[in-house]
Amino acid sequence: MTENSCYTYFKITGNFDPDVVTERLGLIPDRIWRIGDKRRNGTVYDFALWEIGRCDDYDVLIENQMHFTIDPLLDKVEALNNLKNEFDVDFTLEIVPTVYSDNPSPCLAPSMKVIDFCHMTRTEIDIDLYVMG
């Protein structure tokens, strides 16, 4: 039987220099790209990306993965809000579960800690759910 899986991460997208975000937050991102960088297919990105906190360690309580993702950012709320006010950026907490119909369904509800962080930083929660037969 194939097992359920999920990964989570936090991303900043928009019109900014990823090096500035790295410097201001004092955190090393998992992945970045700049406006004008080429994709694998040869097209060019028209927005920048700064990504951190990728968690692939599946837990039926997805909130535990969300906590892992946001933990390095919890003391960076003021810096994040300053970036949001200074640059044209969006914050997103990405949750990408793959669920097989024969397996128990994961709990996708964010905890109050996650909701509070998202509220304080105006971070959107995006759930890309894949359901397999």
Q: Is the pLDDT of residue 8 over 80?
A: yes
For residue range 21-69, list pLDDT tens digits in order: 999 999 999 999 999 999 999 999 999 999 999 999 999 999 999 999 9
- CA distance to 33, 65, 66, 85, 88, per residue, from 72 (Å): 21, 13, 11, 21, 22
Treating both helix axes as pointing N-terminal to C-terminal, what angle do 18-25 and 77-86 enclose, rounded to 10 degrees? 150
Judging by beta carbons within 10 Å of its beta carbon (0-12, 13-18, 19+), is residue 8 exposed, middle or buried? buried
| Banded pLDDT at 4 (limits 50, 70, 90) | very high
Q: Give pTM, 2 decimals.
A: 0.94
Taking 90 as the threshold, does the pLDDT of residue 73 lie above it? yes
